[in-house]
Amino acid sequence: MPDVARFYGLQISRSVMTCCPFHEERTPSLKVYDDHFYCFGCGATGDCTGFVAKLFGISQFEAAKKISYDFGLNLFNREIAVPVNKGLQAENDYRMWLRKASVTISEYLTRLAKWGKIYAPRNFGEQPNPLFVESLTKRDYIEYLSEVLTYGSDKEKRQLYSSCREDIMKIRERLDKLAAAERPVKRKAI
Ligand SMILES: [Zn+2]
């Protein structure tokens, strides 16, 4: 306690008496003991952290951290490590998914419309192209997803996130594969 009191500016006499920083006075009435202090004038009392908390107007916990820091004790390294904010992380994941999902669905919709035209059977009895069938069967559902992603409320979009997240990511993978297959093969420069 005397070390802490001195460190923060109190002049302590041999009789371990000092002027109280917590009330106006000219003759010392605050006594510093080994583990606490007591003012005979205003009755202020406490231990080291109590003293620092009162002196700087901070909480006991903040005072303990301050003493640890000021005296180089490193007592709070673990406690003051900032924990990862899981709520924020989940929200960021959702926002990222939302952007990706909108792009994916509009891309897929464009493909479905195209497949519906270019793969339409030319002759009666012709075995229909699977992409044409996909266009017929998926279009309504994908149009619905597109509408929710574009015009839906926040609540509707979040519902989509919890129910269709995986489905839409599978569509994304498929579109990426199709795009990769369509890319012209690069020739090696001779
Ligand atoms: Zn006092």
pLDDT single digits (tens) 164-189: 898 999 999 999 999 988 887 666 66
Residues 1 and 51: beta-carbon distance below 8 Å? yes
What is the model's pLDDT at position 95? Answer: 86
- Tally Cβ neighbours within 10 Å of residue 1: 17
Residues 160 and 147: beta-carbon distance below 8 Å? no
Print burial letters for 8-22: b (CB count within 10 Å at least 16), e (below 16): eebebeeebbbbbbb
- Alpha-helical runs (H) found in the chain: 2-7, 48-56, 60-70, 86-118, 130-151, 154-182
Distance from residue 54's CA to the centre of ligand 1 (Å) = 11
Distance from residue 55's CA to the centre of ligand 1 (Å) = 12
What is the model's pLDDT at position 188? Answer: 60
Name the stretches of the chain with pLDDT < 70: 77-87, 185-190
Distance from residue 137's CA to the centre of ligand 1 (Å) = 84
Q: One-letter amino acid identity for 138?
A: K
What is the model's pLDDT at position 75? Answer: 77
Distance from residue 69's CA to the centre of ligand 1 (Å) = 26
Distance from residue 61's CA to the centre of ligand 1 (Å) = 23
pTM for this entry: 0.52
Three-state SS at 93: helix
Distance from residue 70's CA to the centre of ligand 1 (Å) = 24
What is the model's pLDDT at position 77? Answer: 63
What is the model's pLDDT at position 81? Answer: 43
What is the model's pLDDT at position 123? Answer: 85
What is the model's pLDDT at position 186? Answer: 64
Distance from residue 53's CA to the centre of ligand 1 (Å) = 15
Measured distance between the N- and C-terminal CA atoms of the chain, rounded to whole angstroms: 82
Domain ranges of the chain: 2-70, 86-182
Residues with CB under 5 A from ligand 1 (ion): 20, 22-23, 39, 41-42, 44
Residues 108 and 142: beta-carbon distance below 8 Å? yes
Placement of tokens 């266009």 in the chain: 135
Three-state SS at 17: strand
Q: Which residues contact 119 (CB under 8 A, 6 or more apart)?
A: 128, 129, 131, 132, 135
So what's the architecture of 2-70 in CATH? Alpha-Beta Complex (3.90)
Distance from residue 30's CA to the centre of ligand 1 (Å) = 6
What is the model's pLDDT at position 42? Answer: 95
Of 144, 132, 145, nearest in space to 172 by CA = 145
